[in-house]
Amino acid sequence: MEYRQLGRTGLKVSPLCLGTMNFGPETTEQESQRIMEQALDAGVNFFDTANVYGRQPGEGVTEQIVGRWLEQNPGKRDQIVLATKVYGKMSDGPNDQKLSAYHIRKACEDSLRRLKTDHIDLYQMHHIDRSTPWEEIWQAMEQLVREGKVLYVGSSNFAGWNIAQANTLAAQRHFMGLVSEQSLYNLNARMIELEVIPACRAFGLGLIPWSPLGGGLLGGVLQKAESGRRASEGVQKQIEQHRPQLERYEALCRDLNQDPADVALAWLLHNPVVTAPIIGPRTADQLSGALRAIEIKLSDETLKALDEIWPGPGNQAPEAYAW
């Protein structure tokens, strides 16, 4: 396993990040523990979760599953880089959501309790909060860092200008600021190439793409349909919308003798701004498949073919739409 530095930090993480959103709602606790064990044994040391995962509002079900695994395996806490998130609504209380200093402090303490740990390695803001000033947000995050409860701060679903604003103000406070951004990014969703990726590059953030397979669209849906596996209604609509592209894409993958899901992950890993796509296996077998993507090297010819099938904006802004 060749580890990558997370953005401009000295922290090294695996080139795939284990996403845990399925733990609880889709995957039993026993299978979730098997997945975490297998991931760590394979060298995946980057685990991502969130306080809102688990589909039971306010319960933090997924964090609790991760926490019980850590409690049962105390030596493994220091073997992983543990990331979680703050922003989502955790109760009906007016202050139990978003990014006020009040909520950041409480949400962090609650996540630490559920995760059975004394610190969070990467604490990510799950969304931009336009109602809270950055001075308040950074003051709260600085306090958590001083107390040793948080090591690094990241963002998720931020616009490029949000990243620029946040890190400019952090620098004025002599604080490191954001070190990572977690964004929707895959072959079929390339809008962040306009401004988010250039902002990550300029400010030294590691990009952590979520939904790298486009909700399953890039995972060989046509091939699976032929074998009798029925996609969800939402994916079926996307199949009809993108059928010509999917036919060309899956044919290219067959020519490469690679699974479509692995090619989609390898394409993301080719981008030097990308630190680690988030994989969200529901089973241990799905994890084994995703790990193959690390070994795939895509040629310039293949990259060009993928751009032709799944065209992005063509450049960063403003060159993508202006002279």
pLDDT of residue 272: 96
The mean per-residue pLDDT over the stretch 147-155 comes to: 98
Dihedral of CA atoms 76, 181, 308, 262 in degrees, nearest 10, equals 10
pLDDT category of residue 232 using cuts at 50, 70 and 90: confident
Averaged pLDDT score across all residues of the chain: 96
- Distance between CA atoms of residues 66 and 120, nearest Å: 13
Report whether pLDDT(77) > 90: yes
- Distance between CA atoms of residues 69 and 82, nearest Å: 13
253 token code pair: 């993958």
The mean per-residue pLDDT over the stretch 7-14 comes to: 98
**In contact, 204 and 164? CB cutoff 8 Å:** no
Please tell me the pTM assigned to this model. 0.97
- Distance between CA atoms of residues 213 and 187, nearest Å: 8
pLDDT category of residue 322 using cuts at 50, 70 and 90: very high
Lowest mean pLDDT among 144-153, 179-188, 227-236, 284-293: 227-236
Active site residues: 53
Q: What is the CA radius of gyration of the chain?
A: 20
Report whether pLDDT(165) > 80: yes
One-letter amino acid at 273 equals V
pLDDT category of residue 219 using cuts at 50, 70 and 90: very high
Report whether pLDDT(231) > 90: no
Ordered by start, the domain boundaries in the chain are 4-309
pLDDT category of residue 34 using cuts at 50, 70 and 90: very high
Furthest C-alpha separation in the chain: 59
pLDDT of residue 38: 96
Report whether pLDDT(236) > 90: no
Lowest mean pLDDT among 53-57, 86-90, 227-231, 318-322: 227-231
pLDDT of residue 85: 98
Strand-strand pairing, 150-156 and 178-184 = parallel
* pLDDT tens readout for residues 110-120: 999 999 999 99
Domain boundaries 4-309, corresponding CATH code: 3.20.20.100
Those residues whose C-beta lies under 8 Å from the C-beta of residue 241, and which sit 6 or more positions away, are: none
Mapped onto helix, strand or coil, the DSSP state of residue 194 is coil
* pLDDT tens readout for residues 244-290: 999 999 999 999 999 999 999 999 999 999 999 999 999 888 898 89
Count, residues in the chain: 323
Provide, rounded to the nearest whole percent, the portion of the chain with pLDDT above 70. Answer: 100
Report whether pLDDT(58) > 80: yes
pLDDT of residue 224: 86
pLDDT category of residue 125 using cuts at 50, 70 and 90: very high
Those residues whose C-beta lies under 8 Å from the C-beta of residue 226, and which sit 6 or more positions away, are: none
Tell which wins on pLDDT, 285 or 99.
Answer: 99
Please work out, in degrees rounded to the nearest 5, the angle formed at the alpha carbon of residue 114 by the alpha carbons of 56 and 101: 90
- Distance between CA atoms of residues 67 and 76, nearest Å: 11
The mean per-residue pLDDT over the stretch 193-213 comes to: 98
**Could you say which DSSP state residue 217 is in?**
T
pLDDT of residue 171: 98
Report whether pLDDT(234) > 90: no
The mean per-residue pLDDT over the stretch 212-238 comes to: 86
CA-to-CA dists, residue 248 to 144, 215, 234, 301, 310, angstroms: 49, 19, 21, 15, 10
93 token code pair: 């209380």
Nearest to 87 by CA among 103, 74, 72: 103
pLDDT of residue 229: 74
